[in-house]
């Protein structure tokens, strides 16, 4: 199922407008920033073995680049609200093989995955806003758009059913992360986060046997933000 990007962009802008409105009401500090780093996807596998046949499938991901922009508001000393747009790209290999009494099929296909995340989050800090070093935990949710495409030459044996050349999917997403803010000077801060985003399995049905494990997107990000 393909979902247009514009509705989610509008939703993201709406959340930012809500942040700005809250700022005018409670007169607290708004901040904006950006981050970059590494995204690591979890792998997957499946197997079906009977007395007369066997089939297996594997998803082998590689580390890739990740980036994010965010805006938020420090509502209380220990609580902040934040919206994020995140992007990451990873190369993967899809492998599927099946063997029966009279047939054998196999393929290995390289693909490129691009994910775009639109998320709203609550940040809980462990130190007051005036502190120079502020560790925190965060929980949030939203939506993720996933696009896949062939990225190289496939190896094919027999007559397997190959995945589509391109595919587009979306899923509700949940994200948990830990991080730390470090005040550099004045309104400028450094930020580090390590987070995990989970979605429904959007590529597991492209191979046989299908994979159903919940996929995870781990991200290590470093960046800066400016507090108004």
Q: 89 forms bridges with which residues in the sheet?
A: 65, 114
- The domain tally of the chain equals 1
Query: Got the DSSP string for 105-171?
Result: EEEEEEEEEEEEEEEEEEEEESS-TT-SEEEEEEEEEEEEEEEEEE-S--EEESS--PPPSEEEEEE
Is a pLDDT exceeding 60 seen at residue 87?
yes
Rounded mean pLDDT, 159-183: 94
For the chain, how are helix, strand and coil distributed in percent, rounded to 5? 10, 65, 25
The residues, any chain, with a CB within 8 Å of residue 226's CB and separated by 6 or more, are 31, 32, 33, 187, 188, 189
Convert the pLDDT of each residue in 4-33 to its tens digit. Answer: 555 555 555 555 555 555 444 444 589 999
- What percent of the chain clears pLDDT 70, i.e. is strictly above it? 88
pLDDT of residue 19: 52
Convert the pLDDT of each residue in 112-157 to its tens digit. Answer: 999 999 999 999 999 999 999 999 999 999 999 999 999 988 899 9
Domain that holds residue 156: 5-227
Rounded mean pLDDT, 86-92: 97
Is a pLDDT exceeding 70 seen at residue 86?
yes
pLDDT of residue 158: 87
- What percent of the chain clears pLDDT 90, i.e. is strictly above it? 70
- HSE at residue 46, side-chain half, CA atoms within 13 A, is 18
pLDDT of residue 23: 46
**pLDDT, mean over the chain:** 89
pLDDT of residue 9: 57
Tokens of 95: 């492998």
Of 77-81, 152-156, 208-212, the range with the highest mean pLDDT is 77-81
Give which of 64, 38, 31, 58 is closest to 46, Cα–Cα.
Answer: 58
212: domain CATH number? 2.40.160.20
pLDDT of residue 72: 96
Q: 109 forms bridges with which residues in the sheet?
A: 94
pLDDT of residue 134: 97
Lowest mean pLDDT among 17-21, 53-57, 192-196: 17-21
Is a pLDDT exceeding 90 seen at residue 39?
yes
Please name the residue that has the structure tokens 């890739």: 64
Give which of 228, 187, 185 is closest to 27, Cα–Cα.
Answer: 228
Rounded mean pLDDT, 30-49: 95
8-state DSSP, 214: P
């Amino acid at each position: 199922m393909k979902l247009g990007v514009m509705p989610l962009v509008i939703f993201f802008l709406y959340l930012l407008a809500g942040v700005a409105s809250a700022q005018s009401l409670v007169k607290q500090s708004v901040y904006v920033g950006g981050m970059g780093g590494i995204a690591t996807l979890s792998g997957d596998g499946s197997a079906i073995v009977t007395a007369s046949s066997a089939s297996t499938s594997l998803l082998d991901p590689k580390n890739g680049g990740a980036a994010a922009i965010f805006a938020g508001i420090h509502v209380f000393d220990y609580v902040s609200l934040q919206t994020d747009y995140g992007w990451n790209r990873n190369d993967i290999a899809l492998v599927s093989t099946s063997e029966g009494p009279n047939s054998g099929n196999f393929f290995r296909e390289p693909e490129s995955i691009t994910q775009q995340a639109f998320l709203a989050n609550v940040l809980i800090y462990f130190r007051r806003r005036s502190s120079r070093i502020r560790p925190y935990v965060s929980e949030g949710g939203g939506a993720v758009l996933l696009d896949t495409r062939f990225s190289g030459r496939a190896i094919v044996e027999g007559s397997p059913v190959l995945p589509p050349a391109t595919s587009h999917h979306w899923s509700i997403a949940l994200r948990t992360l830990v991080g730390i803010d470090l005040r550099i000077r004045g309104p400028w801060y450094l930020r580090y986060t390590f987070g995990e985003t989970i979605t429904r399995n959007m590529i597991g049905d492209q191979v046989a046997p299908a994979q159903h494990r919940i996929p995870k997107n781990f991200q290590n990000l470093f960046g800066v933000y400016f507090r108004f």
